[in-house]
Homo-oligomer: A and B are copies of this chain.
Amino acid sequence: MYKNFANRRRALQKRLAEEKLDRLLITHPADWYYLTGFTGDSGALVISREAGKSASLVTDGRFIAQAGDETSGVKIVPQAGALYPSVAKFLRAGRGRRVGFDSGQLTVAQHQELLRATGKHVAWRAASGLVASLRMRKDPAELAVMRRAAMVADEVMAAAARLLKPGVREFEVAAEIEYQMKKRGASGTAFETIVAFGGRSALPHARATGKRLRKNELVVLDLGAILAHYCSDITRTYYVGRAPSRVRGWYHAVLEAQQAAIAAVKNGATCGEVDAAARSVLAGHKLDRYFVHSTGHGLGLEVHEDPRVARGQTRVLAPGNVITIEPGVYFPGVGGIRIEDDVAVHEKRTEVLTRVSRDLTEL
């Protein structure tokens, strides 16, 4: 396990050399977990190109013992006072003037504080997405965990579908989903579970409410587990009763769009091509204007990470990428349908991680 973290730090050191950076400041918890195994939620990691002193973690008293337990080959630097002044002091005392920071993560206030406190000792360089680009290419250990996280999502989805009887409330289903995840070893939900009955299913991000399920309603369940730090994300749509032909037509159009997008996922394809595959199927059914979001997103330590699978994205898919494919259609006041799976890209094949049935289930 420690070996994976050390390997990732070495890969990052190579990127620092390519970018002509001496050190990189990392302030995003998912990034520092990826590089060290530290699970605390306050601190800052500095990765240096210098061999032997590659990683230093500045953190406060709450996390010192934990950081020591969780990491190997990482120097733990106890924070004295506030975080950013401590980071600046550490950087001033160390070697390597050219220090990179992620302009997508550091706030304007943090950046100004660091500029002021490091003065001429540090030449700050914006260097965005260096860790994110490594995190996009999951290694075999990460893929193994993500398969298990997807299996938990499958099992929990199947269990939740059995609860969908008229009279049940949205938040009761959400509670059961989260309990079932925990029972299977998940540390928590990857995002707030979506349980949407009837007209509420037309809201792509509906939160569970006290609404009771009635006959002849659509149900959208969108859930994800965090297992050993990695996220899964799955959506299924059910119908309570016998679905009218209009609803069946929508359902099969969304499923066709989803399968077309999954078929378009491959090593070398662009994310925009995958998005277009879903969108053009829906256009063929004259439903594209009801597809109000993008086709998917990267998945890993965070539930939304690179790459984005959206209109016009030129990013090329590569082995180790894990993305969601989740087209949907939404009719305000009537209901919505979304079908989502998690997909891993390999050199010569695509692996669908979530596998629970996609048939239209009439309950």
Contacts and interface: CB of A to CB of B under 8 A. Distances in A.
Classify chain A's interface size: 35 or more
A51 interface: no
Given A108-B126, A330-B65, A178 B182 contact: yes
Given A107-B104, A107-B108, A205-B41, A182 B187 contact: no
Interface string A17-55: 000000000000000000000011100000000000000
B182 A332 contact: no
A356 interface: no
A107 B106 contact: yes
A65 B293 CA distance: 13
A2 interface: no
Please state the number of chain copies in the assembly: 2
Contacts of A63: 204-205
A271 B63 CA distance: 23
A155 to B, nearest CB: 15
A292 interface: yes
Contact of A103 (B39, B109, B171): B109
Contacts of A105: 107
A174 B178 contact: no
Given A107-B108, A108-B126, A332-B65, A187 B207 contact: yes
18 contacts: A39-B207, A63-B204, A64-B292, A65-B332, A66-B205, A104-B108, A104-B110, A105-B107, A107-B107, A108-B111, A109-B126, A175-B179, A175-B183, A178-B179, A178-B188, A179-B182, A185-B210, A188-B192
